[in-house]
Structure 1
């Protein structure tokens, strides 16, 4: 039983290594994830430091409630709008990259202008519009991750994307922004520097519009014999119990 388990683990690791190599050699997937990491770097820092910055710049008495409310409302409507716009544009990987780049670029402009306002009302209006545009990326970014890889790699592609945006995006962003603020000691300037990273994300996704991409929605990545073999394979513990009986 131990030998069988060891062999099974070895086979699984070998398969995982091959799948990871295939993902990392897919330029469309890598560009999409790199843009998503840059994007999430800003979003993560917004969620952590936003209320603190809002209180310091605009003396908000309810900064947590205001930032939370804007994020929830704009997140819902922005995500829905992004999906509908992509459908109207005709859902292709190239169009998804165009929407990602355009929405992020415009959203960055509105968020930058928002932090330049001295009055709270102007900030709320422009920041809300910016957040609507920023959250319009949710549908297209996942569309690319799912459609640029063959069906058997989709679970792994989504898993690696999710892990990457947290490890390299929102996890380090909060302490790094804190260090920047300690150095600058001006939340308005710190917020402007942070928001400018959206332009990096937009630029990375813009590169994706020039890459040759193929929609692999209906791609058959495994032959029928392999699929049949997997379907007939018994779970390891069940097979061991049957042999003992």
Structure 2
């Protein structure tokens, strides 16, 4: 009786420990593989440069989306600042993204050409947006800012092209995931409160907008290195 109970207990318990041991082993293997894949990404100069440029770019775009209407209302006394900034961003975002992909295809879809398009479009877009905030005329601002946003949104196709094609195919999902997480954690998430702190300090929306926009030149410079 005693031995039968012992055998039954052993039959039930031993597989549980084996399953747990195998689960822990599988988790450790996955973590080890993840660490190795992360190391490959972090030592890849092309990938790192691309993501750093994307972070700087997204820092500006995130703050634009949050503070843009407020800045527009205070600088140009817009009556419908939310509608204006939202409309310009939607239209230019769609047209710019499509145009960026089309231009990259026409140039020849290579990593070097993608970086040329990234740095060139961002630099020209930065000039347009910076100049827009320098103008006193509302209509002049709208035109230049729309051109600037059209140019900076042309980066969407090439930046993702580089993320996908600078790594081996098996790393592409991780490449895109880390890129997406990075641009939010280091880009648009901290940008809004930091710009708010800057505005509280200098108390001038035009100067705040110009300082923020100048970061696009940094993004263009980083992508130029690529």
Report if TM-score (shorter chain) is over 0.5.
yes
Partner of 1:77: 95
Of 115, 120, 137, 1:119 maps to: 137
User: How many residues get paired?
Assistant: 208
Partner of 1:211: none
TM superposition outliers: structure 1 runs of 4+ over 6 Å: none
For 1:93-108, list aligned pairs within 5 A.
Answer: 93-108=111-126
Of 89, 106, 123, 1:88 maps to: 106
CA deviation digits over 1:152-180, x for unaligned, max 9?
10000000000000000001100110111
Secondary structure of the residue aligned to 2:109 is coil
Counterpart-to-counterpart distance in 2, 1:37 and 1:189: 22
Asked whether 1:184 is paired with 2:181, we answer: no
Asked whether 1:144 is paired with 2:165, we answer: no
Partner of 2:47: 29
Partner of 1:61: 79
Asked whether 1:42 is paired with 2:60, we answer: yes
CA deviation digits over 1:94-124, x for unaligned, max 9?
0000000000000000001100111110000
Counterpart-to-counterpart distance in 1, 2:32 and 2:169: 19
Asked whether 1:51 is paired with 2:66, we answer: no
CA deviation digits over 1:117-157, x for unaligned, max 9?
11110000000000000000000000000000000100000
Asked whether 1:154 is paired with 2:172, we answer: yes
What TM-score do the two structures reach when normalised by structure 2?
A: 0.92
* Larger radius of gyration between Structure 1 and Structure 2: 2
Of 16, 34, 39, 2:34 maps to: 16
Secondary structure of the residue aligned to 1:149 is coil
Counterpart-to-counterpart distance in 1, 2:20 and 2:67: 50
Asked whether 1:196 is paired with 2:214, we answer: yes
Of 183, 191, 211, 1:173 maps to: 191
Partner of 1:237: none
Secondary structure of the residue aligned to 1:118 is coil
CA deviation digits over 1:34-68, x for unaligned, max 9?
00000000000000000000000011111111100
What TM-score do the two structures reach when normalised by structure 1?
A: 0.84
Counterpart-to-counterpart distance in 2, 1:61 and 1:137: 31
Larger % of helix: which?
2
Partner of 1:220: none
